[in-house]
């Protein structure tokens, strides 16, 4: 069932409708350029924007729109209808989609269910770990669940140990075209743990390396067997991956390791990973469970323990701050399912969100392939993104969740106490950069803006082995971000 924004009133919805109907607002059908006809005294300003773009030297394509966040009046545009990859700016759209559908106070629940009676500490039936799609569940939280079972008096289980992850579809990766080893491209399921990543650590030892694969959190770091690592004497590739018998089998090039180090690797079978870690944690309480097995259907029985996530608004705040892809996908899928659909994968769920954009936000031309922006085939124009920001409004639920972006001086250093305040979402892929959000000028005027840039030719030219760190990529992104800063500073000064 679709729920209205819990934090918004009828007045908000009427305001959004009036803004979309106001003459000159972004929600009007586009019959001509949104750029206002320049007054003679404003001509130097347009030239200045062109100079900023030329100085950045990005190549490729650029589109931006800045508008009054309350009326939707377009103030300055450049290629406003040009659809470009939004990258992680798409997470801001996902946040609005989830807030409207699930509500800001929604909590994901992970349960442990007994299918039979518990008598004198003996469970006469199966014990089932049931996921609710929580994207924030970690090993310490599983440890708390295990402690709850001990406190409930459980000592022995006569039946099976099952796990159920059907709250969300089982997906092996967000974007299948990403390198196998990048931790920002994990699997998705109804049972997720540690953002579906495993901690790989190595230390040089006599005759080779000591390696560990564990489910690391602040309190608990149990080792796992569902992911295994072998150090191989080779120069390249750095990592290889295969799946045999339900185990993630990794190899790493010895020459790439150095003395010691660690990194997070993606997990491809997160539900089994979660179940194995839970089995280890509950064993520490003296409760021995058999090997975990998947449950074919949601179990019926008594809830012996449960963990509730933080409210959705807090989950989204963290997602927007750290740009967590797995959170975006789990939240977006959950919202689509709550709307009565059963998406088989991310493209289907993204289509549902795209349809919502068209009908709810008046954005009919956007094309999204996931909820995180990791897929490079997504396209959103600056005009469409600003239309969403204006519809939600600077007093709506999105702005407080967005990250504060500091204004910087000519040397790129943050300026403390700067009168211009920016709350926005960044987005970065190889030779793709975006920034969209709200500007509060020194005078208090609220602006909504979106800036998208992409050099598709350079992106297409990146060799497969360079996808994680392409040559020239960091420099290009640095120039794109400097241009974003320059444009935001310009708009705050001119339109404030």
Q: How far apart are CA 379 and CA 182, in angstroms?
A: 23
Q: How far apart are CA 465 and CA 236, in angstroms?
A: 9
Task: Say whether 485 sits in a helix, a strand or coil.
Answer: helix
Q: How far apart are CA 97 and CA 316, in angstroms?
A: 11
Are the C-beta atoms of 326 and 196 separated by less than 8 Å? yes
What residue ranges do the domains of the chain occupy?
Answer: 10-104+312-495, 108-309
| pLDDT score at 23 | 30
| Total length of the chain | 496
Q: Which structure tokens are listed for 300?
A: 């019926």
Phi–psi pair at 288, nearest 5 degrees: -100, 120
> pLDDT tens, 273-330?
999 999 999 999 999 999 999 999 999 999 999 999 999 999 999 999 999 999 999 9
| pLDDT score at 250 | 97
At the top level of CATH, the class of 10-104+312-495 is: alpha beta
468 CB-side CA count, 13 A: 11
**pTM for the full model?**
0.90
DSSP string, 360-391: HHS--S-B-SSSSS-STT-BB-HHHHHHHHHH
| pLDDT score at 30 | 30
Mean pLDDT, consecutive 10-residue segments, the chain of 496 residues?
37 35 33 39 60 94 98 96 98 98 98 97 97 98 97 96 98 95 97 98 92 97 96 93 90 94 97 98 96 95 98 98 98 98 97 97 95 97 98 97 94 91 98 98 97 96 91 96 95 92
| pLDDT score at 20 | 39
Which CATH architecture describes the domain 108-309?
Answer: 3-Layer(bba) Sandwich (3.50)
| pLDDT score at 26 | 33
């Amino acid at each position: 069932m679709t729920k209205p924004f819990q934090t918004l009133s009828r007045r908000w919805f009427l305001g959004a409708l009036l803004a979309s109907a106001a003459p000159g607002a972004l929600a009007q059908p586009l019959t001509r350029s949104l750029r206002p006809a320049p007054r003679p005294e404003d001509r130097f300003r347009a030239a200045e924007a062109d100079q900023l773009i030329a100085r950045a030297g990005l190549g490729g394509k650029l589109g931006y729109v800045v508008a009054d966040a309350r009326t939707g009046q377009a103030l300055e545009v450049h290629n406003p209808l040009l659809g470009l990859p939004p990258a992680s700016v798409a997470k801001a759209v996902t946040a609005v989609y989830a807030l409207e559908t699930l509500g800001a106070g929604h909590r994901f629940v992970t349960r442990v269910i007994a299918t039979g009676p518990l008598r004198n500490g003996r469970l006469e039936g199966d014990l089932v770990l049931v996921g609710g799609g929580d994207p924030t569940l970690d090993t310490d939280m599983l440890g708390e669940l295990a402690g709850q079972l001990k406190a409930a008096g459980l000592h022995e289980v006569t039946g099976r140990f099952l796990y159920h992850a059907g709250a969300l579809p089982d997906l092996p990766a967000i974007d299948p075209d990403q390198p196998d080893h990048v931790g920002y491209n994990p699997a998705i399921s109804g049972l997720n743990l540690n953002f579906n990543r495993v901690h790989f650590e190595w230390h040089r030892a006599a005759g080779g390396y000591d390696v560990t694969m564990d489910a690391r959190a602040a309190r608990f770091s149990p080792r796992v067997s569902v992911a295994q690592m072998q150090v191989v004497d080779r120069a390249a590739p750095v990592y290889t991956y295969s799946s045999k018998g339900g185990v993630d089998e990794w190899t790493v090039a010895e020459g790439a390791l150095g003395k010691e180090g660690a990194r997070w690797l993606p997990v491809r079978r997160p539900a089994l990973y979660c179940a194995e870690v839970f089995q280890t944690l509950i064993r520490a309480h003296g409760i021995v469970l058999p090997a975990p097995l998947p449950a074919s259907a949601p179990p019926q029985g008594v809830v012996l323990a449960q963990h509730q996530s933080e409210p959705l608004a807090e989950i989204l705040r963290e997602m927007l701050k750290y740009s967590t892809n797995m959170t975006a996908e789990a939240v977006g899928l959950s919202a689509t399912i709550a709307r009565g659909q059963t998406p088989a994968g991310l493209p289907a769920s993204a289509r549902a969100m795209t349809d919502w954009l068209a009908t709810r936000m008046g954005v009919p031309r956007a094309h999204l392939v996931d909820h995180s922006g990791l897929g490079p085939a997504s396209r959103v124009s600056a005009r469409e993104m600003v239309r969403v920001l204006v519809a939600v409004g600077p007093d709506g639920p999105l702005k407080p969740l967005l990250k504060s972006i500091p204004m910087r001086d000519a040397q790129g250093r943050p300026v403390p106490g700067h009168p211009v305040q920016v709350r926005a979402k960044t987005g970065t892929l190889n030779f793709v950069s975006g920034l969209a959000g709200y500007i509060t000028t020194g005078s208090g005027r609220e602006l909504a803006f979106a800036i998208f840039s992409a050099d598709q030719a350079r992106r297409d030219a990146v060799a497969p082995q360079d996808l994680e760190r392409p040559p020239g990529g960091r420099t290009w992104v640095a120039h794109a971000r400097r241009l974003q800063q320059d444009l935001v500073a310009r708009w705050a000064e001119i339109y404030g």
